[in-house]
Amino acid sequence: MTYMVQINPATGEKVAEIKEKSQTEVLAAMTRARAAFPAWSQTPLDRRLAFLRRLRELLVDQIDEVAATIAQATGKVQVEAVMTEIFPTADIIHYYEKRASDFLAPKRVKTPFVFWGNHSYVEYKPMGVVAVISPWNYPLYLSIVPILSALVAGNCVLFKPSEVTPLVGVLIEKLFADAGFPADVVQVLHGGRETGQAVVSAKPDKIFFTGSVATGKKIMAAAAEHLIPVELELGGKDPMIVFADADLDRAVRGALWGAFTNAGQVCMSVERVYVEAPVYDEFVRKVVAATQELRQGVEFGSMTYPLQMQLVQAHIQDAVEKGARVECGGHALQEGTLYFAPTVLTGVNSSMRLMQEETFGPLLPILPFATEEQAVKQANDSEYGLNASVWSQDLVKAKRVATQLISGNVCINDVITNVANPHLPFGGVKHSGIGRYHGPEGLHTFCHQTSIMVNKGTKPREINWYPYTPELQDAFHTLTRLLFGKKRSVPFPALKNLFKQMLRTYRKQNGQPWQGEQKNLPM
């Protein structure tokens, strides 16, 4: 029997031990989930949404206890636990409560002219059992949102929380139990890498993973063996472009929050800042001064994962050895904890690890640019593409630059906030991920989309069926030329003659004599 230990990274104290699930237990959970799926998928949507409402109410009623648990497990300050985990979780639950019925309703779509008389629509059907594997940086929000999205769509869920923050996994398990979800519809599988591998090996119908690029690639490779669809929300190396005409004080505050919130452990953190040369020195001076005013335990909490702290230190060392300057910070703050001083660096260049690899820590490298074209080129010079921000009071220019950025999300005169808008689809490009969630896509991604076209079936046959005749060939030649040839405008006399030609062909194929001009073509 193996246990995970939860350490409070802000104090170093041992908080709890949580038993890991074995491979046998994971397979048994999959069996139960598949047995629970038929009843849950056939549960009316309004009843499924009632469980969501109850969960939201519990989350809000217990806001102080939930925030304290998140802070204890992650080291983040409690205001961030409320502001960036609890609030957006409740917001997106409420969003789906109001809109899920519309998003999941069959959608009528147009039917081409040649299928006259038919009608077409798309249905959204649940996939089965969805595996959700979540990270440790936002262990509540980045877990509950995909879980609930899958549940609303009618799926059952196997949820593997991060082994770094298992205490939040226990909290989520209790919330779902207290909300009264039916047995085995949501099952929490505590454990580390082996448990995650067992979940993937259990062959779920979809895998939703949030975490590192390296682990995402391994999951995708394993899923490919069984053609299991995956959605990957991975890392980022998000650029911030500050033009000389930006509100500089606002941009400084945005850079600080974008780089140092949650101790920089945000997939959408500001990890590269490009500042137009005329205001570069002033921007750096303001950033350094404002960074030195941030208060430990008030504005910034501790880091969460010891290995991540080591990576931050390695990135600083590499940068300094290659000529970078540490303007402030650059060191651990308290023995026995994971507090690390918010760090500003200048003199950086693209050869340094902190400009190419995801740091996922409280580092803010700043460098100048000369032209708009150079800024765009430097911002796009990354294997990542999750988020970016453009800062300028000239919104025409800001939008022009935003359009050129290769990124799944872009903010103008703000940072990170895309992910907090439930109406916007969220996801990355390049190594930052595959797929989108939130918005209508957040439910459709957990559905099989079935395209249906309905024919009343009152005719003996269709015009395109066998046998093929010279008349049929002539009719489709004429139709193709009229509709898709160089001259797309089709005069009424030509259409009238075409209708006659096709109707004559249709009647001949059905053994009916041609009776002259008809008002409608029966297709």
pLDDT in tens, 393-415: 999 999 999 999 999 999 999 99
Looking at per-residue confidence, does 2 or 84 come out higher? 84
pLDDT in tens, 214-230: 999 999 999 999 999 99
pLDDT of residue 487: 66
Superfamily of domain 18-234+440-450: Aldehyde Dehydrogenase; Chain A, domain 1 (3.40.605.10)
User: Mean pLDDT lowest for which of 106-120, 150-164, 227-241, 397-411?
Assistant: 106-120
Report how far apart the first and last C-alpha atoms of the chain are (Å, whole number). 68
Q: Which helix (H) or strand (E) holds 120?
A: strand 119-126
Mean of the per-residue pLDDT values for the chain?
94
Catalytic residue (choose from 156, 163, 267, 357): 267
Whether 233 is catalytic: yes
pLDDT of residue 519: 41
pLDDT of residue 510: 65
Nearest to 459 by CA among 512, 382, 397, 418: 512
Question: Which two three-digit tokens encode residue 336?
Answer: 């026995």
- 251 — pLDDT class (breaks 50, 70, 90): very high
The two beta strands, 409-412 and 387-391, are parallel
Question: Which two three-digit tokens encode residue 1?
Answer: 């029997």
Query: Can you tell me the distance from the alpha carbon of 308 to that of 165, in angstroms, rounded to the nearest whole number?
Result: 14
Nearest to 302 by CA among 338, 257, 264: 338
433 contact partners, CB below 8 Å, separation of at least 6: 216, 231, 232, 233, 234, 386, 408, 427
Cα atoms found within 13 Å of the Cα of residue 352, Cβ hemisphere only: 26
Judge if pTM exceeds 0.85: yes
Percent of the chain predicted with pLDDT > 70: 93
Nearest to 62 by CA among 179, 160, 167: 179
User: Mean pLDDT lowest for which of 145-159, 306-320, 344-358, 488-502?
Assistant: 488-502
Query: Can you tell me the distance from the alpha carbon of 520 to that of 500, in angstroms, rounded to the nearest whole number?
Result: 10
235 near 245, Cβ under 8 Å? no
pLDDT in tens, 10-27: 999 999 999 999 999 999
- 516 backbone φψ class: left, alpha, beta (φ>0; ψ -120 to 50): left
Nearest to 340 by CA among 8, 75, 73, 19: 75
Fold of 238-419: Aldehyde Dehydrogenase; Chain A, domain 2 (3.40.309)
- pLDDT surpassing 60 at residue 457: yes
Question: Which two three-digit tokens encode residue 259?
Answer: 């780089």
Catalytic residue (choose from 231, 233, 327, 357): 233
pLDDT of residue 129: 98
Sorted by where each begins, the domain ranges of the chain are 18-234+440-450, 238-419, 459-509
pLDDT of residue 462: 87
- pLDDT surpassing 90 at residue 213: yes
What would the mean pLDDT of 429-453 be, rounded to a whole number?
97
246 near 412, Cβ under 8 Å? no
- pLDDT surpassing 70 at residue 499: no
- pLDDT surpassing 60 at residue 285: yes
- pLDDT surpassing 70 at residue 253: yes
The conformation of residue 93, written as its DSSP 8-state character, comes to H
Nearest to 144 by CA among 183, 87, 204, 218: 87
pLDDT in tens, 158-192: 999 999 999 999 999 999 999 999 999 999 999 99
What would the mean pLDDT of 267-292 be, rounded to a whole number?
98
pLDDT in tens, 18-74: 999 999 999 999 999 999 999 999 999 999 999 999 999 999 999 999 999 999 999
User: Mean pLDDT lowest for which of 75-84, 112-121, 369-378?
Assistant: 112-121
What would the mean pLDDT of 88-117 be, rounded to a whole number?
95
